[in-house]
Amino acid sequence: MNFEFSPDDPLFQLAIILVAGIVGGELFGLIRLPKVTGWICTGILLRGLESFHSTYTGLTSDIVVRFAPYMSFVLGYIAFTVGAALHFASLRNSGKRLGLLLLGEAIITPSIVAIAMLTVGNLISAEPMSMRASLLLAAIAIAGAPGTTVLVVQESRSRGILTRTLLAAVALIDMVAVGVFAFVSSYLVEGGSSDALWQSSWPTALATVGREFGLAFAAGTISALVALGLTRTVVGPAFLGPTMVAVILGSWGGAKGFDASGILACTFAGIVVTNVRHDTVRSAEAYLHSIGGVLFAAFYTLAGMNLDFSLVLQAVGLVVLYFLARFAGKYAGAFGAMSIAGVPNRVRNYLGLSLLPHGGVAVGLILVVQADPRLSDVAEFVTTVGLAALAINQLVGPSAARFALSQAGEAGKDFPRLLDFLDEHHISVNVSGTTKAEVIRSLAAQLYSTKDRPSIPQDEFVQKVLDREEHESTCLSEGFMIPHAILDAGEGLTGILGISSRGLNLGAPDGLPVHAVLLLATPKSDQRRHLEVLAAFATAITRDVNLREQLYHARSAAHAYDVLHAEEAEDINYFLEDALAHSQIEEDRPENR
């Protein structure tokens, strides 16, 4: 018999791509470079060696088209997790800085990129720079890299104001990128590169953006609500993860059926799920986490195969220019926004650097340009410059983000600490009230607006706190008060810290005004930690004048969080593992046996 091998089966080809990507990622990991960079570079190498292996593997430069559904699913998964990070109750104190940052990203970043490409680009390019290509690249430059950013944060074990801002920002920035891209591409398709057509084209472009967002919102919201309804009635806990996968598929497919953005639809689906039923998001993430490496390794390897490296060598000057212009735009936009928002200096100085990674959504937008025949005149140029610069960003971006988190003092902080429950949205400044009851009710209302609310109704909780306060005042010396209630049940200690720089006259035993009120809700199962919190605050407030003054006069919740979670505050907010280890050492001493 005569056997003839034909490598046309897509599963066989996907296996080769996956194995090659995994090997490339591991080799890059050995030299302490991000695996995602290795995946992209492996794809570029496969494209460059096409003539040598295509006969045996069937991998050609147009192979990505065959895997379009796979690429769409991974992009949808990235977008869904991006949206799921936007839990509105957790962003109560960060709305101002996020709004300013998005404004900077929508205006400053694309403006700097477009101007640089049209001015400096014309000086270093053999051919005149196209307005159409420059505007598309400027819109794509806005996009971040949620997947890469999350990986960097997890690997560096980072926690803090910069980390929280970064994780929330990359989600919203990608939505801004899709919106600006939809506007620019619509404007260009309508003939917008001519100044004479601007007045007639921009209303159409705005209408396109509105339609895009409206249809995507409808597709994502309907898919999410139907799935959540099923999980409450028919679907058991074991199938929450698969149901969320169906949400991703349904959101993307529904949006595409209306010729809208699947990326936006999946983002909206994630937002709806996390804000309607937050615990469901964790099920989806846990379900897909085990195969996340498979999804991303093949995705980024295929993305690298889109890039013809021979064209990069011809446009290396423009690639470097685009990379530098994007970095300048990111840094300038973030620095300006954070300066206006009045965040701590370390967040202002390093947020722009941490936004450097460029990833999945940018790849998706480049693929949209490739697939639109109306943009065929600039598709090759946008692909070459965009993907080559993205490869550079993936080479240096993760390392830059890790450096920024380290310099900001947030790397290595994602370990259990005594005051973990006092994150930014559990801190409130400018608290007011003339009586203890008014202050306690005000703080209780804010506590119950978070996802970590106590297990009993709000009125019952407030009454328990007031009864405890009547029995014995919880006003400590030096302007600190810790009203609290012990609950029969609950998942863990929670609370909210209210600060008044002016001070409240609440009848403290020492006659001093109260500047900080820590309202605690403690289940009986967590009373030991409750006592540790009381002891830590009592000791720190009475002995550490510097910490006390900084906390009492914090300008914002972010500044108060900084005070409590800084290295200098480890005596009050110590790492629980360190405390446990120290306790174990003390117990093991011969004299204590």
Question: Would residue 418 count as lying in a domain?
Answer: no
Query: How far is residue 185's CA from residue 192's CA, in Å, rounded to a whole number?
Result: 9
Give the C-alpha separation, 156 to 405, whole Å.
8
**Residue finishing a domain among 347, 379, 407:** 407
Q: What are phi and psi of 521, to 5 degrees?
A: -120, 115
CA–CA distance from 391 to each of 139, 307, 371, 462, 530 (Å)?
17, 10, 21, 55, 49
pLDDT at res. 197: 43
Query: What is the domain range of residue 572?
Result: 424-592
DSSP E strand boundaries for 268-358: none
φ and ψ at 408, to 5 degrees? -80, -5
In a domain, 2, yes or no: no
Q: How far is CA 407 from CA 39, 157, 575, in A?
A: 28, 14, 20
pLDDT for the residue numbered 580: 37
Report the pLDDT value the prediction gives residue 137, as an integer from 0 to 100: 93
Residues 180 and 137 in one domain: yes
Question: Does 3 reside within a domain?
Answer: no
Same domain, 441 and 385: no
Domain boundary among 381, 407, 433: 407
pLDDT at 588: 44
Q: Which contiguous run of DSSP H or E holds residue 519?
A: strand 514-523
Check whether residue 384 and residue 317 sit in a common domain: yes
Contact 484, 513 (CB under 8 A): no
> How large is the angle between the packed helices 10-30 and 35-48, nearest 10 degrees?
130
Mean pLDDT, consecutive 10-residue stretches, the chain (593 aa), reads: 64 87 88 77 81 68 78 84 74 76 92 93 80 90 82 79 83 83 77 46 71 89 92 83 89 89 87 82 68 80 75 79 94 92 86 86 81 82 84 79 88 71 82 87 86 83 88 82 83 85 85 88 82 78 80 84 71 52 40 47
> Is 504:431 a contact under the CB 8 Å cutoff?
yes
Q: Report how far residue 528's alpha carbon sits from residue 522's, in angstroms, rounded to the nearest whole number.
A: 10
Residues contacting 126, CB < 8 A, separation 6+: none
Same structural domain for residues 49 and 126?
Answer: yes
**pTM of the predicted model over 0.85:** no
Which stretches of 143-277 are DSSP H helices? 146-156, 161-189, 198-233, 240-257, 262-276
Residues in the chain: 593
Return the amino acid letter for 257.
G
CB neighbours (10 Å) of residue 513? 13
Residue 94 in any domain: the answer is: yes
**Domain assignment of residue 7, yes or no:** no
Assess contact for 312 and 319: CB atoms under 8 A: yes
Is 567 among the domain residues?
Answer: yes
Q: Are residues 400 and 431 both part of a single domain?
A: no
Phi, psi of 499 (to 5 degrees): -125, 140
pLDDT the model gives residue 336: 93
HEC string for 91-155? HCCCHHHHHHHHHHHHHHHHHHHHHHHHHHHHHHCCCCCCHHHHHHHHHHHHCCCHHHHHHHHHH
> Do residues 383 and 447 both lie within one domain?
no
Shared domain check, 244 and 174:
yes
3-state secondary structure of 503: strand
CA distance 419 to 154: 20
Number of domains comprising the chain: 2
CA angle in degrees (0–180, nearest 5) for 239-241-247: 105
Other C-beta atoms lying within 10 Å of the C-beta of residue 457: 11
Token reading at 82:
């991006």
Give the pLDDT of residue 33.
Answer: 72
Which residues are CB-neighbours of 162 under 8 A, at least 6 positions away?
346, 347, 350, 351, 354, 404, 405, 408, 410
